[in-house]
Structure 1
Amino acid sequence: MQTKTKNRIALSLLPQILLVKWLSFYPEFIENYYSLGFYQYCAKLFRFLNGWIPFSLGDLLYAVLGIYSIRYLIIKRKCMVRKPFYFLKNGIVVVAIAYFTFNMCWGLNYHRLPVSIAIGIKENSNRDDLRSFVQELIDKTNETQLLLANDSTAMIETPYTNQEIFDKTIEGYKRLEKVHPFLKYENPSIKNSLFSIPLSYMGYGGYLNPFTNEAQVNSLIPPFRFPVISGHEVGHQLGYSAENETNLIGYLVTVHNEDMYFKYAAYAYALSYCLSDIKQNDEALFQSLLPKINAGVLKNYEALNAFWQAYENSTEPIFKAIFNSFLIINNQSDGIKSYSKVVLLMVSYHQKYPL
């Protein structure tokens, strides 16, 4: 690449950042012309091109780039000392290209209108409504667990492979589309991540690769939680970036599935978030609710918790802090805490669409 070209690309980084910041003040524009316009064609094209590939093309791309970068740093280490500003400029060039590609392929969705507007709901923080909703969830979760196990003390073992769960997730989206047409999912591309072990150590259930539009799911996640995470990552593919919104979408597509194991996963997922919210704000109420939950349900929660505990390590908080900063920079002021704000949306949703 010629020096003049490199200089222009490097100098474009700041204007790019300012342009994205300026566009963030016009979510209606982004919604109409990017999220519902350009992005839809771009995303479907990527999923059409790589959805049929059985492995994660995006993960493979990251691996190759990572190896190349390490090799480059090793080979050029002496030159980096002699010409630090030259390599700094090269680094800025790479960042500028990546930033442009990220925003064109997916990133501008961080600044679109909230999914709550498309559904026609608002966040509901009323504590009485939450308590009422939790009681309904407990009844639904217990009822489904007992139906599946015929024993209130038995932990539910979801009998599906990861691929079967992916297939059922796609079917769930076909059903959800009938209720919410804007969540239509075409050209599916959901895959097990090649980085599932690292993802487990970092504490992540999955991610969307914005450069290939592949929904990556941590293949090690217990089947009890796998359906909702699959639905969550597809929600990102559909162009919804806020984590509380994709948590809601993941829950909705799972609970709308005809399969009872999926319904159980959805009810238990929603219940766990609501209980966590109540525990933080009303310990006495939390303790009074626990005895009402079937022992088998609690065993599923314990097994999921044991899975994450097995991968706990000293680096996990670092990765969480990095991701928290990434979310804040990208228009999610609550950072990682935004995940739990799904409770406000679920309470409101089920006031409009009762369980």
Structure 2
Amino acid sequence: MKKNLKTFAAFSILPQILLVKWWGNYPDLVEKYYSEGLYPVLSKFLRTLFGWIPFSVGDIFYTILVLSLLRYLWVRGKLLFLKPRETLQHVGITLSIAYFIFHLFWGMNYYRLPINEKLGFKTEYTKEELVNFTLNTVKELNYLQVILTQDSTVPVRIPYNINEIYKKTFDGYRNAATIFENLKYTKPSLKASIYSTPLTYMGYGGYLNPFTNEAQVNTIVPKLRLPSISAHEIGHQIGYSSESATNFIGLLVTYGSNDNYFKYASLFHVLGYCLSDLKKIDDELHSIIYNKLNSGVKINYQEIAVFWKQYQNPMEPVFKWIFDAFLKSNNQNQGIESYNAVVGLLVNFYKDYWIHVK
């Protein structure tokens, strides 16, 4: 690559950033021309290209990338410092290419219209509305727990293997797409991450690889979490970047399944978010409502807590801080707190649309 061209490529990241931020000020245009225009075409192409491969191509790509970086550092050694201009040029070119591909293949979805605006409901809620929704969730969760175990003291066990969970997740999306056309999902590409153990130590249930459009699932986590995690990552895959939006979609899709184990898994996850929010505003009421749960449901919550506790480590907060900063730099002002923002979506959706308790 000629010297002038290398310099241009290295500095091209600056106009790219300006262009992304400028376009991001017009979410309606991003929605029309990217999220509902170019992105579905690119996404389907990548899922068609990589979805049939039984292992994660994206994870292999990241492995090769890290090894290549280590080799680069080893081979160049002192030259990194002896030729700082050339080193910075290489770094600039790499970042420019990565930034361009990231935003072309997926990243512009961070600037699309919020999902509540698409569906036409607000996200604010009162304490009374939260309590009402939480109590109804407890009621149905207890009901399903007894249906599935025939004993209020027995915890629910998901009887499916990972491939069956994936298939039922796809079925859930088919059901959801009959009501919400934007949730149509074809050419599946949902895979177990080969980095499930590192993801667990980092505190993550999965992720979307934006370069291959593969939805990655951490298969080490308890099975009770896998239905909503799988549906959550597909939510990212079909173009929703906000963590609150993909939580909402994942829980809605899982609840809309024809399978009671999936309904239980969804409500179990929903209630966790609701109780967390309730604890912040009324600790005593939180305890009262939690104690209304069947013993079997409480055991399920205790098992989840024990699982994550054994993987706690000093680096986890660092990874969370990095991800929080990444989200905030990509138009997600709440950072990792946006996960819990799903409560506002759920409460208002329940109030306006969802006949929750049969």
Q: TM-score, normalised by structure 1?
A: 0.99
Give unmatched runs, 5+ long, in structure 2. Answer: none
Q: Distance in 1 between matches of 2:287 and 2:139?
A: 17
The equivalent of 1:54 in structure 2 is 54
- What are the Cα deviations for residues 124-152 of structure 1, in whole angstroms up to 9, with x where unaligned? 32111111000100001000001000111
Q: Distance in 1 between matches of 2:246 and 2:65?
A: 28
Q: What secondary structure does 1:224 align onto? A: helix
For 2:241, the aligned partner's letter is S
The equivalent of 1:304 in structure 2 is 304
Following superposition, the deviation at residue 89 of structure 1 comes to 1.4
The answer to whether residue 20 in structure 2 is matched with residue 20 in structure 1 is: yes
For 1:42, the aligned partner's letter is L
Q: What secondary structure does 1:257 align onto? A: coil
The equivalent of 2:243 in structure 1 is 243
Contact 1:119 1:180 in 2 (8 A): no
- What are the Cα deviations for residues 27-85 of structure 1, in whole angstroms up to 9, with x where unaligned? 01000000000001000000011111000000000001111101110111111121122
Larger mean Cα displacement after TM superposition, 55-64 or 75-84: 75-84
Q: Distance in 1 between matches of 2:240 and 2:273?
A: 20
For 1:321, the aligned partner's letter is W
The equivalent of 2:218 in structure 1 is 218
Following superposition, the deviation at residue 198 of structure 1 comes to 0.5
The answer to whether residue 79 in structure 2 is matched with residue 100 in structure 1 is: no
The equivalent of 2:150 in structure 1 is 150
Q: Distance in 2 between matches of 1:11 and 1:269?
A: 45
The equivalent of 2:182 in structure 1 is 182
Q: What secondary structure does 1:216 align onto? A: strand
The equivalent of 1:320 in structure 2 is 320
Q: Map residues 117-136 of structure 1 onto 2, 5 A cutoff.
A: 117-136=117-136
Q: What secondary structure does 1:312 align onto? A: coil
The equivalent of 2:334 in structure 1 is 334
**Alignment length (residue pairs):** 355
For 1:174, the aligned partner's letter is R
Following superposition, the deviation at residue 25 of structure 1 comes to 0.6
Q: What secondary structure does 2:21 align onto? A: helix
Following superposition, the deviation at residue 185 of structure 1 comes to 0.5
Contact 1:156 1:297 in 2 (8 A): yes
Contact 1:244 1:342 in 2 (8 A): yes
Q: Distance in 1 between matches of 2:257 and 2:139?
A: 19
The equivalent of 1:9 in structure 2 is 9
The answer to whether residue 40 in structure 2 is matched with residue 40 in structure 1 is: yes
Following superposition, the deviation at residue 3 of structure 1 comes to 2.0
The equivalent of 1:68 in structure 2 is 68
Q: Distance in 2 between matches of 1:164 and 1:64?
A: 31
Following superposition, the deviation at residue 287 of structure 1 comes to 1.2
The equivalent of 1:278 in structure 2 is 278
The equivalent of 2:30 in structure 1 is 30
For 2:267, the aligned partner's letter is Y
Q: Distance in 1 between matches of 2:352 and 2:97?
A: 44
For 2:133, the aligned partner's letter is F
For 2:67, the aligned partner's letter is I
- What are the Cα deviations for residues 147-166 of structure 1, in whole angstroms up to 9, with x where unaligned? 00011111111011111101
Following superposition, the deviation at residue 4 of structure 1 comes to 2.1
Following superposition, the deviation at residue 117 of structure 1 comes to 2.0
Over the matched positions of the two proteins, sequence identity in percent amounts to 46
For 2:226, the aligned partner's letter is F
The equivalent of 1:350 in structure 2 is 350
Q: What secondary structure does 2:291 align onto? A: helix
Q: Distance in 2 between matches of 1:161 and 1:310?
A: 23
For 1:129, the aligned partner's letter is E
Q: Distance in 2 between matches of 1:312 and 1:119?
A: 38
Q: Distance in 2 between matches of 1:203 and 1:255?
A: 24
The equivalent of 2:262 in structure 1 is 262
Give me the CA root mean square deviation: 0.8
Q: Distance in 2 between matches of 1:308 and 1:91?
A: 37
